[in-house]
Each structure stands twice: as structure tokens, then as C-alpha cells.
């Protein structure tokens, strides 16, 4: 870092002598993140409007570490399941899992560590016409760097992708094997959003989440419908750092440097920053709001909500804060920076790794409309988050399952799905031996179809305190 600061000082001095400096866009204008909230981050123990009750109904099983679900907007009513081992499977309109994969990238995907693998899938909004889709994975050849790659469906079979159509959009080097992020979605604006973790280990040792010169600890936003020179995508003009490198007068740069708003090496792709390991984010199909579940360190898991007109330019505080709290938790006081989460839960109430699911906008379970759901890999609890008539958020534990929830997805009809595994960290675990991964759909508890298999639930010996979920199976 010292060498980096020296290099920056030299470049700034030379640029000022020349009469201009490369700058960050509209940073006369550097993005100013929203101020911390008033401290009203909610925790489990609330009651959602209408007091909903939910259940999970099994859709498919026999999967190898499913971690994501996506659906093309092509009228086919198919759901595509991402298996961490490098394959994409299809559940057809008839609800049956196809035997042959849509795409098999197992030869190029690194899966040695449980957080590595094929992690994200997004279909182009115009997929019905252009057949393009995008995947995000840990690369085997580079020992775990993450790749964003564009592919195309085959010309003669809609259930098979063209494996030779791959086009690399970018690679991000990673210092450690964990915190890979991997969720990718097209937003309501038509741009592709990409979540990447802070690089791994604990406490973000390289301060990546708060740095502007790296993709790590960020949500990126790119335009895949255009190219910029040798770069296979373009930058949306309203990205916070979109004009990095545009010459401005040295006097303006000097003034900006005084207040800390000058960031000449910022990555133009950055949309939001200050994230540890966002898993997973989603857009509300109705309102366009952005929901981000960010995995915590040792104490707090959090849910961030961003208004549709403030999608970019937000600092979510890691690693200065964990949730709406000081990091590390040994601090008795601290400055809380950026945008604080709307909801959080402490590991003491159960759980260890949040998984975002999404906002329900389906038709089959009308009472769930507008509720945001998330779960946790360690506890299997399904949480709901929604605003009441008074505009205040409520956060409630709705269902305590015995599942390891690994991911999620949403159909074009607004129905929500979760993926689960029976997986463990360590080399002894082989996801391809007797795979027991499954996909489940969220429904109202009284809307379970006859004969459907539902999620196994916990049966604690005693009722836990309000908002507290029994988590003994994780602690055992």
C-alpha cells in the first residue's frame, strides 16, 4: 500500500505540472453514499403483516450441490439449476428434471473448496431472440480466480448450450479460496449486476471492500450490449466511477483531493461497495428495489435494501461495520459508515451464513406477496422481512427446517425457490457420490399440493424465546 500511495503522489504531481489529471467522473461528484440510518435495523422477533405461515415443497432432488436457479424469459416455463460442480440442469415445464445437462463446465471449474465452483447464472433479457446467457465460476486453470463468461444456446436444441461459444468478459484474481460471491442478475435497467466477495480469509486483510481499485467486495454493473475498445462490455454512464480517467483541470483535482473525493484509480465497473460476501442479491420484480444478503464474519448476518432510484453509489460498511454494529465486536464504540442494513440477526439466535432468496411476487401464494425471504446455511431457518402499514420493517422467523440452504432463485412467474445440499467442508466430501442436493419452492403452509414432499422441520424440546431459533444441530 505504501508503494501504491507513493505512485499515486508521483502521478498526481506530474499530472498537475502538465495542467490536468485523470479523474473520476462526475466526481465533482464523487459518489456520496447515503448516511447511516437512525439505528432502526430490525432483528428477528417481529410479526409480519397478515401473520403468514410458509412451507417448502420439493421440486427436484438427486442434485450435486445446487446453489442457484435462473429462468429465461422465453415463455418455456423452464427452471435452470446451477450445480456447484460445474453443470447446469433443467427442470422442464412438466416439472421433471432432465437427465442431460444444459451446459457442462466441470473440466474448467475449480471445486476443491466448498465456496468455489459454478456459482452464478443469468439469462439475457432478450434471450428468446439472441440466446445469450452468462455464468460466473471459480476457474480451475488459475487456481480459483473468478470468471464471468458469456455463452449461447445451441442452434438446434433449446435444452443444450453451445460449449464452444464461451466469451470471457473478465477475470478477477483472488488472494484466498473463500468469499467468492457469484450472484449475477440483470437489473430492471437492462444492465448486468455481478456480486464478488472481499477476497476471503477473515476481516478483509487487504481492505478490499473499502478500496476503489479492485472488484473485490463489490457489486459491479456493466452493459453487455456494447463493447468499449478491447473491453467486451461497456460502462453505464451513471455508474459512480464511470468517468475515471477523463482529464480535468488540476485545480479541480486538487480541490477534490482535499475532501477525499478524488479516486483516479477507481474501477469504472463498481456500483456498490463495502460488502463482505454478498450471497445472494435480487431485485424486487414489482418495485425494482435491490435486496442484498451479506454474509457476516463471526457475529452478524445482514440484509440491505436499496431503493430503485439509488441502485448504485452505496457503501455498506464492511469492514468498518458488521451489520449495524462495530467490527470487530470487541470495540465498544465506532463510527458507523455508509448505508446500514435494514435487518440483521446475531449468530447467538442460530445460523452462521445468510442466503438471500428474494421478494415473492407469485400468484399461487397470494398472502406472501411483497415479503422478502432469506435463510441460513447453518440453521435452515426461513425468515420473512416486510413493511407494515406504518412503514416500519418487521423481521420474523417463519419456518425452522433441518436443511442446509445453499442458494435460491425466482421464476418468471414470481415464485421463489431455494436450493439445499447435504454437504460439508473438507476433502473427504465428494458431491458426486450419492448426490442429495434438492430444490424447494416456497408456498403458503395451507397451499401444499396433495402428495407433495415438504421440508423436514426442527422439533426442539422447548420453545425458544421470541425470535430465537434452536440451533443445536450446528453446535453439536
Model confidence pLDDT, tens digit, residues 175-229: 999 999 999 999 999 999 999 999 999 999 999 999 999 999 999 999 999 999 9
- What CATH number corresponds to the domain at position 338? 2.120.10.30
- In DSSP notation, 328-393 reads STT-S-----SPPPSEEEEGGGS-SSEEEEEE---STTGGGTT-EEEEETTT-EEEEEEE-TTS-E
* Residue where the block lists cell 423481521: 395
Does the residue 266 lie in any domain?
A: no
39 pLDDT band, cuts 50/70/90, is low
Partners of 124 in beta bridges: none
Q: Do 216 and 174 touch, CB atoms closer than 8 A?
A: yes
Model confidence pLDDT, tens digit, residues 243-282: 887 777 788 778 877 876 778 899 999 999 999 999 999 9
Q: How far apart are CA 180 and CA 144, in angstroms?
A: 9
Does the residue 439 lie in any domain?
A: yes
Does the residue 244 lie in any domain?
A: no
Domain count, the chain: 1
Give pTM, 2 decimals.
Answer: 0.89
Does the residue 239 lie in any domain?
A: no
* Residue where the block lists cell 412467474: 413
Q: Which residues form the domain of 78?
A: 31-217+273-448
30 pLDDT band, cuts 50/70/90, is very low
35 pLDDT band, cuts 50/70/90, is very low
**C-alpha distance across the termini of the chain, in Å:** 42
Model confidence pLDDT, tens digit, residues 104-119: 999 999 999 999 999 9
* Residue where the block lists cell 419452492: 441
Q: How far apart are CA 67 and CA 175, in angstroms?
A: 23
Can you give the C-alpha Rg of the chain in angstroms?
22
pLDDT over 50 at 29, yes or no: no
Of 342, 256, 367, 337, which is closest to residue 292 (Cα–Cα)? 342
Q: How far apart are CA 445 and CA 452, in angstroms?
A: 12
Does the residue 224 lie in any domain?
A: no
Does the residue 229 lie in any domain?
A: no
Q: Do 224 and 231 touch, CB atoms closer than 8 A?
A: no
Give the CA distances from residue 393 to residues 2, 46, 315, 370, in Å, rounded to whole numbers and listed in that order: 44, 9, 21, 12
- Count of other CB atoms within 10 angstroms of residue 273: 32
Q: At what angle are helices 2-18 and 250-258 packed, to 10 degrees?
A: 150
pLDDT over 90 at 27, yes or no: no
Model confidence pLDDT, tens digit, residues 145-176: 999 999 999 999 999 999 999 999 999 999 99
Cα dihedral 172→175→180→184 (10° resolution) = -10
Of 332, 196, 345, which is closest to residue 274 (Cα–Cα)? 196
Does the residue 17 lie in any domain?
A: no
Amino acid at each position: 500500500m505504501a508503494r501504491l500511495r507513493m505512485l499515486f503522489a508521483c502521478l498526481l504531481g506530474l499530472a498537475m505540472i502538465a495542467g490536468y489529471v485523470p479523474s473520476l467522473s462526475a466526481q465533482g461528484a464523487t459518489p456520496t453514499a447515503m448516511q447511516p440510518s437512525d439505528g432502526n435495523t430490525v432483528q428477528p422477533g417481529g410479526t409480519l403483516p397478515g401473520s403468514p405461515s410458509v412451507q417448502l415443497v420439493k421440486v427436484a432432488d438427486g442434485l450435486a450441490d445446487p446453489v442457484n436457479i435462473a429462468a429465461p424469459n422465453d415463455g418455456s416455463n423452464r427452471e435452470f439449476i446451477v450445480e456447484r460442480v460445474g453443470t447446469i440442469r433443467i427442470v422442464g415445464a412438466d416439472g421433471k428434471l432432465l437427465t442431460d445437462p444444459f451446459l457442462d463446465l466441470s473440466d474448467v471449474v475449480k471445486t476443491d473448496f466448498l465456496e468455489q465452483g459454478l456459482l452464478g447464472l443469468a439469462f439475457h433479457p432478450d434471450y428468446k431472440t439472441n440466446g445469450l446467457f452468462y455464468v460466473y465460476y471459480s476457474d480451475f486453470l488459475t487456481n480459483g480466480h473468478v470468471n464471468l463468461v458469456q455463452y449461447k444456446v445451441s442452434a438446434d436444441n433449446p435444452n443444450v448450450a453451445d460449449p464452444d461459444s464461451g466469451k470471457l468478459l473478465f477475470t478477477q484474481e483472488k488472494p484466498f479460496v473463500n468469499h467468492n460471491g457469484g450472484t449475477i442478475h440483470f437489473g430492471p435497467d437492462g444492465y448486468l449486476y455481478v456480486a464478488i466477495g472481499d477476497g476471503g480469509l477473515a476481516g478483509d486483510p487487504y481492505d478490499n471492500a473499502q478500496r476503489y481499485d479492485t472488484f473485490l467486495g463489490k457489486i459491479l454493473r456493466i452493459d453487455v450490449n456494447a463493447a468499449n475498445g478491447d473491453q467486451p462490455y461497456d460502462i453505464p454512464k451513471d455508474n459512480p466511477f464511470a468517468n475515471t480517467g477523463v482529464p480535468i483541470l488540476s485545480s479541480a483535482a486538487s480541490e477534490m483531493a482535499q475532501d477525499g473525493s478524488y479516486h483516479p484509480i477507481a474501477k469504472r465497473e463498481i456500483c456498490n461497495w463495502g460488502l463482505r460476501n454478498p450471497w445472494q442479491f435480487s431485485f424486487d420484480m414489482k418495485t425494482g428495489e435491490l435486496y442484498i444478503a451479506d454474509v457476516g464474519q463471526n457475529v452478524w448476518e445482514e440484509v440491505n435494501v436499496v431503493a430503485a432510484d439509488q441502485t448504485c453509489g452505496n457503501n455498506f460498511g464492511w469492514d468498518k461495520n458488521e451489520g449495524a454494529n462495530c467490527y470487530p465486536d470487541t470495540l465498544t464504540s465506532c463510527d458507523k459508515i455508509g448505508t446500514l442494513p435494514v435487518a440483521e440477526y446475531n449468530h447467538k439466535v442460530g445460523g452462521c451464513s445468510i442466503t438471500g432468496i428474494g421478494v415473492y411476487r407469485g400468484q399461487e401464494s397470494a398472502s406472501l406477496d411483497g415479503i422478502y425471504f432469506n435463510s441460513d446455511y447453518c440453521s435452515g431457518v426461513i425468515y420473512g422481512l416486510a413493511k407494515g402499514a406504518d412503514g416500519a420493517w418487521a423481521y420474523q422467523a417463519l419456518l425452522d427446517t433441518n436443511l442446509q440452504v445453499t442458494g435460491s432463485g425466482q421464476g418468471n412467474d414470481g415464485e421463489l425457490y431455494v436450493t439445499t445440499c447435504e454437504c460439508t467442508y473438507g476433502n473427504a466430501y465428494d458431491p458426486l457420490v450419492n448426490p442429495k442436493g434438492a430444490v424447494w419452492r416456497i408456498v403458503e403452509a395451507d397451499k401444499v399440493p396433495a402428495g407433495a414432499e415438504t421440508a423436514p422441520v426442527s422439533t426442539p424440546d422447548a420453545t425458544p424465546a421470541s425470535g430465537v431459533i434452536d440451533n443445536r444441530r450446528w453446535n453439536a
